[in-house]
Amino acid sequence: MIQVNQLSKTYNETTVLNINNLEIPKGQSFGLVGNNGAGKTTFFSLLLDLIQPSTGNIINNDIQVNSSENWKSFTASFLDESFLIGYLTPEEYFYFIGDLRHQNKADVDALLAQHEEFFNGEILKNKKYLRDLSKGNQKKVGIIATLIGNPEVIILDEPFANLDPTTVSRLKKIIKELADNPNVTVLVSSHDLQHTVEVCDRIVALNKGEVVKDIQTSKETLQELEAFFAV
């Protein structure tokens, strides 16, 4: 599904990301872990053509992301709050995204109903604009919005951060469901090794922009990762 070739990103002669070759097959749930500055967000930004690669390229479903825009029709993402439109209510935001992905109101409503538990009664019909929601609730809106229109690739940057414990476990359930769908490729980044191990089939650890671990998740994965990051 996603093929990374000779990809690197350099700022003022400092290489922040350098991935020679990485292939993410269709249907995989892919976890990206690493310390601050490891290059996780840089990688996602490159994948979404928000920044330009210094060398190499990324191919998303046969489409090279920095030369064609056609990947946008099947890729959904939530990196941070700058993906939210502050002056809209959550409902309006969902419908806006729905319109852009050619979903009618009923489709969106059906999806929202499905995730009512995740919202925990704090999102819908609350007479608040997105800008006035707490960080955690904003995140809930952003995450669910990526599910609108059945995208084939879903990219979530640090989805577990800022969420309360209950929501974290509900989010894990959602991501696991997505992972079980053979048509959906999920990419998740996190600082939290345990959460990532729980929801992902495969985990790649980045350190200073380089891939330092690439493992299929098993019982020993968590220990292996903890040992790696413990200094």
Determine which residue in the list 83, 118, 228, 229 makes contact with another protein, applying CB under 8 A. Answer: 83
Q: Are 1 and 26 in contact (CB under 8 A)?
A: yes
Instruction: Rule CB under 8 A: say whether 128 interacts with another protein.
Output: yes
Here's the x/- map for another protein, 132-171, by CB under 8 A: it reads as x---------------------------------------
Instruction: Rule CB under 8 A: say whether 131 interacts with another protein.
Output: yes
Distance between CA atoms of residues 178 and 163, nearest Å: 19
Q: Which is nearer to another protein, 132 or 180 (CB)?
A: 132
Determine which residue in the list 15, 64, 73, 162 makes contact with another protein, applying CB under 8 A. Answer: 73
The secondary element (H helix, E strand) that includes residue 202 is strand 202-207
Whole-Å CA distances, 2 to 169, 173, 184, 197: 28, 24, 12, 21
Per CB under 8 A, which region of 6-14, 72-80, 180-188, 196-204 contacts another protein?
72-80
Instruction: Rule CB under 8 A: say whether 99 interacts with another protein.
Output: yes
The secondary element (H helix, E strand) that includes residue 93 is helix 90-100
Residue type, 99: D
How many CB atoms lie under 10 A from the CB of residue 169? 12
Per CB under 8 A, which region of 126-134, 170-178, 187-195, 200-208 contacts another protein?
126-134
The minimum distance between CB 80 and another protein, in angstroms, equals 8
Contacts of 21 (CB under 8 A, 6+ apart): 4, 5, 6
The minimum distance between CB 75 and another protein, in angstroms, equals 7
Residues paired with residue 9 on neighbouring β-strands, in sequence order: 17
Q: Which is nearer to another protein, 23 or 80 (CB)?
A: 80
Residue type, 11: Y
| Site residues, another protein (CB under 8 A) | 48-52, 72-73, 75, 77, 79-80, 82-89, 91-92, 95-97, 99-101, 126-129, 131-132
